[in-house]
Amino acid sequence: MPIILPVKGVDPQFGSDCFIAPNATIVGDVKVGRNCSIWFNAVIRGDVNSIIIGNESNIQDGAVIHATYLKAATHIGNRVSVGHNAIVHGCLVKDHVLIGMGAIVMDHAVIEEYCIIAAGSVVLENTVCESGYLYAGTPAKKIKPISIEQRALLNKLPDNYIMYAGWFN
């Protein structure tokens, strides 16, 4: 069974048709939209500030979603894919974004719509990643506009994860 716990009397809330892996941990002030999936060993810790995840988003295996006490909540939009072992911390991630495997997004960063944050990249505090671009590196820098194929991937990947989640029901 997943670990789903209240913190200071606040329980996590979930929209309809969500898949939560049996060893995921979700605690505190967390609101998850409909048709989301929270995968194996993912941790969403809404203990020190709020975390909101929009509809049809997926938080993949080993990812950590957290925030900063009294300073930075975390808001993840609709149809966002947070890759395996990524860390998303105290930031704003808008709709149709891919945060690559092992990437880190720090406090007060803003990832605009239709961005890809490459695997292993580090988006530093207060960075704004412009819509329609691939960002990569440490620290993450704008590399190039996303291609038509990459944009199609951003539109398709959430549907894939909805399908994968259905395999567990």
Query: How far are the Cα atoms of 19, 54, 56, 111, 118 from residue 95, in angstroms, in the given order?
Result: 20, 8, 10, 9, 16
Assess whether pLDDT exceeds 90 at residue 40: yes
Considering only CA atoms, which of 154, 109, 157 is closest in space to residue 134? 154
pTM of the model: 0.97
pLDDT at 169: 73
Give me the mean pLDDT over the 71-76 stretch.
98
Contact between 58 and 81 under an 8 Å Cβ cutoff? The reply is: yes
Q: What are phi and psi of 150, to 5 degrees?
A: -70, -40
Q: How confident is the model at residue 89 (pLDDT cuts 50, 70, 90)?
A: very high
Considering only CA atoms, which of 84, 100, 83 is closest in space to residue 140? 100
- Residue 41, domain CATH: 2.160.10.10
Number of domains in the chain: 1
Domain that holds residue 63: 3-166
What count of other Cβ atoms lies within 10 Å of the Cβ of residue 9?
6
Considering only CA atoms, which of 75, 6, 3 is closest in space to residue 38? 3
